[in-house]
């Protein structure tokens, strides 16, 4: 049992000493991911119903998903809203984070908290509020409405990621650039942005995911031809349950995982 | 050194004078700059010296354009710049943190101000090579910033600040991140570089030795006001007030009395006449450790020497010099510094020994008394 008695870190603690730590950590990790991954085998079932473990294997539910205009349109809506949200929230959130970071004004803390409230307030409250406001503005069931609401949800994430990046950045670099002849805007684009670019990309991916995974607001304000994938999935779960849901879930898990892994890799490069 | 600015258009092509008048900057109720007037001569090396929070950096940033004073004027030559944004001031700047651009090579950093000015690629290469040569980094142009030592980074920051030919160079404690040996070498190099470039240089430091080493003139600043502006020699040997005397060099301050004949006395013994033209409520005597000497066997005072009697508290060896602490009464101690040379340790004043300490009358520095600084 060489591994068992070898040190687990720079200290004298061995892997054997950490046995129970490993057990507990494994259980927690399993509990976290099992509910997610259980849909993967279910999606490959031959059965009409959700079944675990599946008695017969088949990819027929993927064919159903890919062959259904309804599901395809919903997917297109989700991707479209996700991309527009990303394109709107990333620059806005970056600008807000930058402004609050450099200003040093007394009110910046309060403003920061104000801008990240969408993260703190229960989403259902936002959804209800947005639904009534949109009712008046005629924005329910529109792409614009959905993008606006999702942008509000994504901006806090962008701000947090960008603020963290700016904290480890020496703002004197911008000052030097300005003394050397660059305007503020040039100093930002030539000096600051290239150094926080990985964080900006991370923030963009997170904004896309925020929108793509979002269901509660979508249930309230999206519908008809502009219903999102998540909204359709929710309705499908309520009305009739078949393994198409599992197939779609698997695809979504895949997309989310890939994007999150991407942000991790990108984050590691910036360090 | 460059000639004084005789106002008019005829200033040096390589340097500009800076005229600062009644410059005031408040943060809340606190005056960071309190009506500062300062004439920085064309081509001189002027150091702003003061403790942290004295306003020296605020003043430098105001010259660079990074903070806007509440009132007053800053002119580069004849041009008022108080409202000019930093990028139009044409001022080279070196920060304590160097603030090199890590996503560019050494050459990329130095080329940055040239590119912004639309200089042609061929000329950029020429001038970058030349600048690298000036700071003794020839051949390192393609290096990344993270491959450089602290001293090399300092040189790159410097090259970047002067490569575009600014007529004013500002430096904010540029050497404080270096270790002592390197710092002392860079001080000399900066001085030589300044002479070579001939550019008006404003240098901020809290290190008085650095200021004394490098400057043509020093502006001592405290609580947002200039305490004294003069050459290092005058600042050191003739401090204008208690703050300067205390901040620059080591010193002990003794409050003097005045006898009926008008002579200044300390504990009844005559020190000197009041300085002519001086007009103060009272006077203090500033005593520097290196001006004092321990007199053999308490030899009688001559006319040229002021004598204090006291007891040695402690003697400390510091390498090239040593000092003794001598208590001349219950709450006054004098530091006496002496060269160690070939002196044997056994001949140093011993703790508890009664000694006489002499001060040459020429070395007596008198300053107006201040009740509480």
Out of A170, A187, A191, name the one closest to residue B97 (CB).
A170
Q: What is the residue-averaged pLDDT of chain B?
A: 87
Q: Is B249 on the interface with A (CB under 8 A)?
A: no
Distance, CA of B361 to CA of B348 (rounded, Å): 25
Identify the pLDDT of residue B69: 94
Has residue A204 been placed in a domain? yes
Query: Do A157 and A177 fall within a single domain?
Result: yes
Identify the pLDDT of residue A6: 81
- CA-angle at B268, arms to B265 and B269, nearest 5°: 65
DSSP B351: T
| Smallest CA–CA distance from B109 into chain A, residue | A177
Out of B87, B95, B100, name the one closest to residue A181 (CB).
B87
Q: In chain A, which residues have pLDDT < 50?
A: none
SS3 of B306, please? Answer: strand
Has residue A248 been placed in a domain? no
Provide the residue range defining the domain that includes A131.
Answer: 68-239
**Structural domain count of chain A:** 2
Distance, CA of B58 to CA of B72 (rounded, Å): 14
Out of B66, B100, B103, name the one closest to residue A175 (CB).
B66
Place of tokens 């007394």: A106
Identify the pLDDT of residue B299: 56
pLDDT tens by residue, A88-135: 999 999 999 999 998 878 888 899 999 999 999 999 999 999 999 999
Query: Do A124 and A217 fall within a single domain?
Result: yes
pLDDT at B373 over 50: no
Q: Is B108 on the interface with A (CB under 8 A)?
A: no
Identify the pLDDT of residue B280: 67
Query: Do A73 and A56 fall within a single domain?
Result: no
Has residue A262 been placed in a domain? no
Out of A172, A180, A194, name the one closest to residue B103 (CB).
A194
Query: Do A15 and A107 fall within a single domain?
Result: no
* pTM for this entry: 0.79
Question: Average pLDDT, stretch B57-71?
Answer: 94
pLDDT at B8 over 50: no
More confident residue, B280 or A247: A247
Q: Given an 8 Å threshold on Cβ–Cβ distance, is A172 in contact with B97?
A: yes
Pick the CATH number of B250-368 from 2.40.50.140, 3.10.20.740, 3.30.200.20, 2.40.30.10: 2.40.50.140
Residues of A in contact with B157 (CB under 8 A): 176
**Torsion angle, alpha carbons of B104, B108, B110, B113, to 10:** -100
Query: Do A47 and A179 fall within a single domain?
Result: no
Cβ pair B227, B34 in contact under 8 A = no
Has residue A164 been placed in a domain? yes
Last residue of a domain, one of A30, A60, A90: A60
Chain A with chain B: Cβ pairs closer than 8 A: 63
Query: Do A126 and A164 fall within a single domain?
Result: yes
Q: Is A177 on the interface with B (CB under 8 A)?
A: yes
Question: Average pLDDT, stretch B221-234?
Answer: 94
Q: Which tokens belong to B275? A: 């300085």
pLDDT tens by residue, B296-354: 665 555 667 788 888 899 988 888 888 899 998 878 889 899 888 776 777 788 888 88
Query: Do A55 and A73 fall within a single domain?
Result: no
Question: What is the ipTM score, two decimals?
Answer: 0.80
Q: Which tokens belong to B344? A: 């044997």
Has residue A250 been placed in a domain? no
Cβ pair B98, B146 in contact under 8 A = no
Best interface-test mutation with B: which of A176, A182, A271 has the largest number of B CBs within 10 A? Answer: A176
SS3 of B259, please? Answer: coil
Q: Is A106 on the interface with B (CB under 8 A)?
A: no
Pick the CATH number of B18-244 from 3.40.710.10, 3.30.460.20, 3.40.50.720, 3.40.50.300: 3.40.50.300
pLDDT tens by residue, B147-184: 999 889 999 999 999 999 999 999 999 998 888 888 99
Has residue A249 been placed in a domain? no
Q: Is A178 on the interface with B (CB under 8 A)?
A: yes
The secondary structure of A13-76 as a DSSP string is -BTTTTHHHHHHHHHHHHHHHHHHHTHHHHHTB-SSS--SS-SSB--HHHHHHHH-HHHHHHHH
Distance, CA of B312 to CA of B354 (rounded, Å): 7
Q: Given an 8 Å threshold on Cβ–Cβ distance, is B113 in contact with A191?
A: no
Query: Do A43 and A84 fall within a single domain?
Result: no
Cis, bond preceding B251 (omega within 30 deg of 0): no
Query: Do A161 and A223 fall within a single domain?
Result: yes
Query: Do A42 and A92 fall within a single domain?
Result: no
pLDDT tens by residue, B117-145: 999 999 999 999 999 999 999 999 999 99
Q: Given an 8 Å threshold on Cβ–Cβ distance, is B160 in contact with A173?
A: no
The C-alpha of A188 sits at a distance from chain B's nearest C-alpha, in angstroms, of 12
Query: Do A7 and A72 fall within a single domain?
Result: no
Out of A173, A183, A195, name the one closest to residue B87 (CB).
A183
Q: B126-136 burial, b for 16+ CB within 10 Å, e for fewer?
A: ebbeebbebbe
Out of A170, A172, A181, name the one closest to residue B116 (CB).
A181
Query: Do A124 and A52 fall within a single domain?
Result: no
pLDDT tens by residue, B35-50: 999 999 999 999 999 9
pLDDT tens by residue, A209-240: 999 999 999 999 988 888 899 998 888 888 87
Residues of B in contact with A170 (CB under 8 A): 97, 99
Domain borders along chain B are 18-244, 250-368
């Amino acid at each position: 049992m060489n591994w068992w008695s070898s040190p687990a870190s720079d200290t004298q603690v061995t892997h054997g000493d950490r046995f129970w730590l490993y057990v507990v950590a494994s259980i927690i990790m399993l509990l976290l991911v099992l509910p997610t991954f259980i849909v993967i085998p279910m999606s490959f079932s031959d059965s009409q119903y959700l079944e675990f473990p599946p008695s017969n294997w088949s990819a027929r539910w993927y064919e159903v998903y890919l062959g259904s205009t309804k599901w395809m349109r919903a997917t297109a809506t989700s991707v479209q809203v996700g991309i527009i949200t990303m394109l709107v929230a990333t620059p806005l959130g970056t600008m807000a984070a930058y402004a609050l970071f450099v200003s040093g004004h007394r009110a910046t803390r309060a403003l920061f908290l104000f801008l990240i409230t969408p993260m703190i307030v229960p989403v259902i409250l936002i959804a209800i509020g947005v639904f009534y406001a949109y009712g008046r503005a005629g924005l329910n069931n529109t792409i614009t409405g959905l993008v606006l609401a999702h942008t509000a949800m994504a901006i806090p994430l962008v701000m947090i990621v960008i603020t963290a990046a700016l904290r480890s950045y020496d703002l004197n670099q911008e000052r030097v650039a300005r003394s050397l002849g660059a305007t503020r805007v040039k100093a930002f684009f030539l000096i600051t942005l290239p150094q926080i670019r990985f964080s900006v990309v991370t923030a963009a991916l997170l904004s896309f995911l925020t929108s793509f995974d979002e269901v509660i607001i979508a249930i309230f304000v999206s519908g008809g031809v502009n219903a999102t994938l998540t909204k359709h999935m929710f309705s499908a779960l309520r009305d009739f349950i078949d393994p198409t849901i599992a197939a779609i879930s698997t695809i979504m898990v895949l997309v989310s995982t890939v994007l999150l892994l991407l942000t991790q890799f990108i984050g590691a490069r910036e360090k | 050194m460059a000639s004084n600015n005789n106002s008019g258009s005829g200033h040096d092509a390589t340097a500009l004078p800076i005229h600062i008048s009644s410059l005031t900057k408040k943060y809340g109720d606190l005056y960071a700059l309190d009506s500062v007037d300062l004439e920085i001569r064309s081509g001189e090396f002027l150091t702003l010296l003061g403790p942290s929070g004295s306003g020296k950096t605020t003043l430098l940033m105001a010259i660079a354009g990074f903070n806007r004073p509440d009132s007053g004027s800053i002119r580069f030559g004849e041009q008022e710049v108080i409202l000019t944004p930093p990028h139009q001031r044409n001022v080279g700047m070196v920060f304590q943190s160097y603030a090199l651009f890590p996503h560019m090579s050494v050459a990329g950093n130095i080329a940055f101000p040239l590119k912004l000015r639309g200089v042609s690629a061929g000329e950029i290469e020429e001038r970058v090579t030349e600048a690298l040569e000036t700071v003794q980094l020839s051949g390192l142009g393609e290096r990344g910033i993270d491959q450089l030592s602290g001293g090399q980074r300092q040189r790159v920051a410097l090259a970047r600040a002067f490569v575009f030919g600014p007529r004013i160079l500002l430096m904010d404690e540029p050497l404080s991140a270096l270790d002592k040996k390197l710092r002392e070498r860079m001080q000399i190099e900066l001085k030589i570089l300044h002479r070579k470039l001939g550019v008006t240089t404003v240098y901020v430091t809290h290190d008085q030795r650095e200021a004394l080493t490098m400057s043509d003139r020093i502006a001592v600043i405290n609580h947002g006001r200039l305490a004294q502006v003069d050459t290092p020699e005058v600042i050191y040997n003739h401090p204008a007030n208690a703050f300067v005397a205390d901040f620059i060099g080591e010193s002990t301050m003794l409050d003097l009395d005045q006898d009926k004949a008008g002579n200044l006395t300390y504990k009844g013994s005559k020190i000197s006449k009041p300085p002519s033209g001086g007009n103060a409520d009272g006077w203090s005597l500033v005593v520097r450790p290196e001006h004092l000497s321990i007199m053999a066997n308490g030899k009688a005072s001559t006319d040229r020497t002021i004598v204090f009697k006291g007891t040695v508290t402690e003697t400390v060896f510091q390498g090239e010099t040593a000092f003794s602490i001598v208590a001349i009464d219950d709450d006054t101690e004098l530091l006496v510094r002496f060269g160690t040379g070939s002196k044997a340790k056994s001949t140093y004043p011993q703790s508890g020994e009664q000694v006489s300490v002499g001060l040459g009358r020429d070395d007596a520095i008198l300053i107006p008394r201040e009740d509480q600084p």
